């Protein structure tokens, strides 16, 4: 329980990987702000799961791509818990298509949620973290940001952008005791991936040396490690959690 009484915001934690991260942190004693965009029932489910195991949490709706929403997320968190120790920038969307067919709106929305959302949330929490001279930030990137992927130019560009952002902010904040890292998941079973046709899933599976598709808990455990004092000498890194897919 080394993280006991820390306060975390996990963006996009109503479902999928974000929910697993919220539960993992709550189980370690962290007070967790469960953020979501539109599906309030899913976010309330995450909160109920946190409470079932004796954890403490709070649900806050906020579109991370909107500065006013992010301000409200920050204010509500501070009103309830008084500080922010951990930020996990997890909220993300895909709008896949080959470049020639990619609509400008699909480029813009993926950039807005995946990249601008991380900028806005990080900037919002950084003031308090710099003042308290401590804090940990984890950005959820993707192996696609390292390798590229046909049909995902917008998503890959945003996820690669997150890696550059992570390194830059890690350098800016290191002297103030704030660590910033990225996690790059491979193929993880969530709503985001369940719509892929079975043929594509089998093809992906052939490219995973460990021979299985990941689950949200695989990513959540690594995030818990990165935000813990056990990772106190790690900053600016991108850790792949991908069954060996990217090596």
Catalytic residues: 155
Token couple for 210: 């460990």
For CA atoms 183, 164, 121, 105, the dihedral sign is: negative
Give the whole-angstrom CA distance, residue 50 versus residue 17.
15
Q: Does 193 bind ligand NAP (CB under 6 A)?
A: yes
Among 6-14, 128-136, 165-173, 226-234, the segment contacting ligand NAP (CB under 6 A): 6-14
Chosen residue from 26, 86, 88, 91 binding ligand NAP by CB under 6 A = 91
Among 60-68, 79-87, 122-130, 196-204, the segment contacting ligand NAP (CB under 6 A): 60-68
Segment 15-34, which members bind ligand NAP (CB under 6 A)? 15-18
CB of 213 to ligand NAP, least distance (A): 8
Chosen residue from 154, 166, 190, 235 binding ligand NAP by CB under 6 A = 190
Rank residues 201 and 228 by Cβ distance to ligand NAP and give the closer one.
Answer: 201
Helix (H, G, I), strand (E, B) or coil at 241: strand
CB of 42 to ligand NAP, least distance (A): 5
Nearest to 30 by CA among 92, 88, 75, 72: 88
Segment 206-245, which members bind ligand NAP (CB under 6 A)? none
Segment 163-182, which members bind ligand NAP (CB under 6 A)? none
Q: What does the DSSP 8-state code read for residue 138?
A: E
Chosen residue from 86, 110, 187, 223 binding ligand NAP by CB under 6 A = 187
Rank residues 33 and 231 by Cβ distance to ligand NAP and give the closer one.
Answer: 33
Tell me the longest C-alpha to C-alpha distance in the chain.
Answer: 51
Secondary structure (H, E, C), 2-71: CCCCCEEEECCCCCHHHHHHHHHHHHCCCEEEEEECCCHHHHHHHHHHHHHCCCCEEEEECCCCCHHHHH
Crossing angle of the two packed helices 67-81 and 117-132, in degrees rounded to 10: 40
Crossing angle of the two packed helices 16-27 and 216-227, in degrees rounded to 10: 50
How many residues contact ligand NAP, by CB under 6 A?
A: 31
Q: Does 57 bind ligand NAP (CB under 6 A)?
A: no
Residues near ligand NAP (CB under 6 A) are 11-12, 14-18, 35-39, 42, 63-65, 90-93, 113, 117, 140, 142, 185, 187-188, 190-193
């Amino acid at each position: 329980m080394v993280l006991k009484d820390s306060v975390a915001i996990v963006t996009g934690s109503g479902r999928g990987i974000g929910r697993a991260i919220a539960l993992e942190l709550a189980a370690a004693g962290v007070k967790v702000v469960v953020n979501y965009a539109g599906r309030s029932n899913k976010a309330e489910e995450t909160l109920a799961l946190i409470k079932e195991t004796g954890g403490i949490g709070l649900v806050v709706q906020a579109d991370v791509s909107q500065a006013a929403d992010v301000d409200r997320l920050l204010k509500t968190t501070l009103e309830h818990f008084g500080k922010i120790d951990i930020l996990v920038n997890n909220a993300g969307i895909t709008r896949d298509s080959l470049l020639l067919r990619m609509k400008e709106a699909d480029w813009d929305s993926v950039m807005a949620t995946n990249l601008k959302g991380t900028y806005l949330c990080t900037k919002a929490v950084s003031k308090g973290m710099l003042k308290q001279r401590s804090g940990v930030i984890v950005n959820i990137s993707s192996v696609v940001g390292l390798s590229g992927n046909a049909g995902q130019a917008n998503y890959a560009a945003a996820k690669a952008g997150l890696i550059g952002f992570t390194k830059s902010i890690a350098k800016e904040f290191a002297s103030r005791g704030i660590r910033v890292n990225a996690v790059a998941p491979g193929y993880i079973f969530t709503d985001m991936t369940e719509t892929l046709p079975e043929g594509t899933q089998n093809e992906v599976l052939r490219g995973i040396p460990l021979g299985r598709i990941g689950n949200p808990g695989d990513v959540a455990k690594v995030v818990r490690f990165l935000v813990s004092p056990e990772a106190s000498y790690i900053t600016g890194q991108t850790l792949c959690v991908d069954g060996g897919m990217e090596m």
